[in-house]
Amino acid sequence: MSVVTPFPKPASRIQDDPASFRHAFRHLAGGVSVITTGHGDERTGLTATSVASLSAEPPTVMFGLNLSSSSFPILERSRGFGVNFLNATQKPVADRFAGRKGEKGAARYADAEWISGMTGAPLLIGALAALDCEVEEIIERHSHAIVIGRVRDIRLGVNDAALVYWRGDYERLGWMSEEVTTALGLRAF
């Protein structure tokens, strides 16, 4: 026998409560990516969980970006961006690009290795995967923009555990390569 707990009756009016909305979305686990854009001292970026595949033919991605973000005007000017899927050991990178310790702009790139993609966007060495993208369209809605980007290059990294964000904290999903090797009793060559 199963026990079913019904949801409370729906509200008689539309809920327009940003705090409840954000709280509800804390229950949706999301892969953690760092969006990178700009060149030289004008490099910047942000941590995002709103990245999604839009199309495989042609390869296209999208993500949400707050219009008040310092990254927005730089992305508009540069028209190129990187999407870097973080592995479980890259929590410090996620924290820096989230600005948790006050880092801004090019300072967020400290303590990690980067290369420039075809579009000039910084791509993170050691990421699970890095997509080099060109802006196709920016759709402004309410407080955010939906950024649609055509993927120009794909760099695949090591098949390690992913960094995910759930209920307000970073979590790890899967195993790191070394753990798989150890668990299977294999030697690394």
pLDDT value at residue 186: 73
pLDDT (tens digit per residue) in 38-86 = 999 999 999 999 999 999 999 999 999 999 999 999 999 999 999 999 9
Tell me: pLDDT of 7 over 90: no
The residue type at 29: A
Residue 15 domain-assigned?
no
When the pLDDT of each residue in the chain is averaged and rounded to a whole number, the result is 92
CA distance 100 to 162: 20
Which residue has tokens 């999903």? 173
Residue 188 domain-assigned?
no
Number of domains comprising the chain? 1
Indicate the pTM of the whole model. 0.87
Q: For the chain, give the percent of residues with pLDDT over 90.
A: 77
Lowest mean pLDDT among 15-19, 34-38, 97-101: 15-19
Residue 168 domain-assigned?
yes
CA distance 172 to 90: 10
Which residue has tokens 């009016």? 13
Residue 19 domain-assigned?
no
DSSP letter assigned to residue 159: -
Residue 105 domain-assigned?
yes
pLDDT value at residue 17: 87
Could you give the angle at the alpha carbon of 71 between the alpha carbons of 67 and 77, nearest 5°? 95
Tell me: pLDDT of 100 over 60: yes
Q: For the chain, give the percent of residues with pLDDT over 70.
A: 93
144-156/162-166 β-pairing: unpaired
Residue 94 domain-assigned?
yes
pLDDT value at residue 181: 75
Residue 95 domain-assigned?
yes
| 84: β partners | 34, 130
Q: Pick from 86, 52, 50: which is nearest to 162 by CA?
A: 86
Residue 124, H or E segment: strand 122-124
CATH number, domain of 93, equals: 2.30.110.10
Residue 66 domain-assigned?
yes
Q: Pick from 97, 33, 96: which is nearest to 61 by CA?
A: 33
Collapse the DSSP code of 53 into the 3-class scheme (helix H, G, I; strand E, B; otherwise coil) and give the result.
strand
Under the banding of pLDDT at 50, 70 and 90, the label for residue 183 is confident
- Structural domain including 119 reads 27-183
Under the banding of pLDDT at 50, 70 and 90, the label for residue 159 is confident
pLDDT value at residue 11: 63
Q: How far is CA 26 from CA 29, 132, 156, in A?
A: 7, 28, 28
Lowest mean pLDDT among 127-136, 140-149, 165-174: 165-174
